[in-house]
Structure 1
Amino acid sequence: MIEALAILAAGFWAGMINVVVGSGTLVTFPTLLFFGYPPLVANISNNIGLVGGGITGTIGYRRELAAHGPALRRLLPASLAGGLTGAALLLVLPDSAFRAIVPALIGLGLVMVIWGPALQRFIKKHRPSAGTPHSLALTAGIYVLGIYGGYFGAAQGVLIIGLMSVLTTTALQSITALKNLLTTGVNAIAAVTFMIVAWDSVDWQAVALIAAGATLGGVAGARFGRRLSPLVMRTIIVSVGLIAIGKLVLFP
């Protein structure tokens, strides 16, 4: 019962923080490891369980998504393709091969989040037609982050927010909405892949507990996150990112 409640609570927190910032995996994945789940089983079960929270969080941000249909028609397929690639890599490559560079990726994302506003102002002032969500660089970046998300996914949302803060002039709340849909798409396509190819590596009890908590957490996160100012949002992003780096470096 204690284990079930702990995993349920971790799922709720992960679902909420995924909507606001991202990196909810750094709550649920270590929790599963703590209770003795094998790393591969924990990673795959966590991925499947978090899909529900992504869906409810995306629905909560649907108003911010309404004006970004053209961008999504380019970015969502790239994100899904990356997620499929990452899921395939997880099944054929050792986990340590990719996790070794995760702290560096998160650190790069935090740098982009911190300097994003200044770069956005520069782009808007000097190149008002550049840096739109239709750029080839952004599409390629979303694909690469989709690979990362399908493989492991910790702080994928932080990296997407950082990337879009640099390459677009989109408001932060809209970037958060786009991030929610893109990361949910990656989780969903990876989850389908795992259920087809790696059914034996799924612990459905863990999936159910995380899914229940994350789905409710996604609703709470959407309601809470929409009320935050950009400064508060960036502060949370940087704080969570630094904690994530600390966990990955000190407790690999």
Structure 2
Amino acid sequence: MCERGGRGIGAGALLLLPASSFEAAVPWLLAFATVLLAFGRHVSRALSDALGQPLGMSSTAVLIGQLVLAMYGGYFGGAVGIMMMALWSIGLGLDTAAANPMRITQLAAVYLSATALFVVASDALSSAHFLAALLIGAVAGGAGGAHLARRLPPWLLRSVILTSAVTMTVLYFVRG
């Protein structure tokens, strides 16, 4: 319930705010997510050592985190998966391979909700063939990516995700 509202808020913000605010925010959102992903386990370990106990998130913190991520995903879906991995790495101590099925499920929920709002609020239905082609490509790519991710060793999966995140971040800053 909480996450569903977050998706709608993020998607609504994208529809209401000027395109220039989105373009200015994207590189910084990516950079933040990438840094968290890259150093999340180190931060988690350091905090656990400092506290003298394993770091964990309460159920309330998880709900709040997921609400924020859903808003973020509704606004800018391109890095929400990286943000989820970073949050879960820091707060739950999950490794990339273990968290990936949950991440995919969460991403599907965020993207489906935001997409439904965008389709209703736009003229996308007037290009039904194009929309169908995009949907088929997204489903095929998502299924293929999930299939591949399950077979990769955890260290390689993390490396691929982190390399992709760094590359996207750099390209968005260079594109300016």
Q: The TM-score by the shorter chain falls in which range?
A: 0.7 to 0.9
Structure 2 CA distance for partners of 1:218 and 1:176, relative to 1, 3 Å: same
Aligned to 1:182: 106
TM-score (norm 1): 0.61
> What amino acid sits opposite 2:63 in the alignment?
T
- The answer to which structure has the higher helix fraction is 2
* CA distance in structure 2 between the partners assigned to 1:112 and 1:225 by the alignment: 21
Confirm or deny that 1:211 pairs with 2:128.
Answer: no
Aligned ranges 1:75-90 → 2 under 5 Å: 77-90=1-14
Alignment of 1:149-160 (within 5 A): 149-160=73-84
**Structure 2 unmatched ranges of 5 or more:** none
Identical counterparts, % of pairs? 28
The equivalent of 1:251 in structure 2 is: 175
- CA–CA distance in structure 2, aligned partners of residues 194 and 227 of structure 1: 34
Deviations 1:28-81 (A, max 9, x none): xxxxxxxxxxxxxxxxxxxxxxxxxxxxxxxxxxxxxxxxxxxxxxxxx33322
1:96 corresponds to 2:24: no
Q: Choose from 53, 64, 67 the match for 1:127.
A: 53
Seen in structure 2, the aligned counterparts of structure 1 residues 168 and 238 have a Cα distance that, compared at 3 Å, is same
Pick aligned residue for 2:145 from 221, 232, 238: 221
Q: Tell me the distance in 1 between the aligned counterparts of 2:129 and 2:175.
A: 26
Q: 1:195 aligns with which of 115, 119, 123?
A: 119
The offset of 1:222, in angstroms, is 1.7
RMSD of aligned C-alpha atoms?
2.2
Distance of 1:178 and 1:235 partners within structure 2? 19
Contact 1:79 1:182 in 2 (8 A): no
Would the aligned equivalents of 2:34 and 2:169 in 1 still touch at CA under 8 Å? Answer: no
Q: Which runs of 5+ in 1 are unaligned?
A: 1-76
How far apart are 1:179 and its partner, in Å? 1.3
Deviates more, 1:138-147 or 1:224-233: 138-147
Question: Larger RCO: Structure 1 or Structure 2 (Cα < 8 Å, ≥ 6 residues apart)?
Answer: 1
Indicate how the Cα distance of structure 1 residues 230 and 117 shifts in structure 2: closer, same or farther if over 3 A, else same: farther
The farther-off stretch of 218-227 and 201-210 is 201-210
CA contact (8 A) 1:158 1:241 kept: yes
SS of equivalent to 1:127: coil
Aligned residue pairs total 173
Q: Contact (CA 8 Å) 1:155, 1:244: kept in 2 or not?
A: no
Q: By how many angstroms is 1:106 displaced? A: 1.7
Aligned-pair CA distance for 1:170: 2.2
Please give the alpha-carbon distance, in whole angstroms, between the structure 2 residues aligned to 1:99 and 1:149: 15
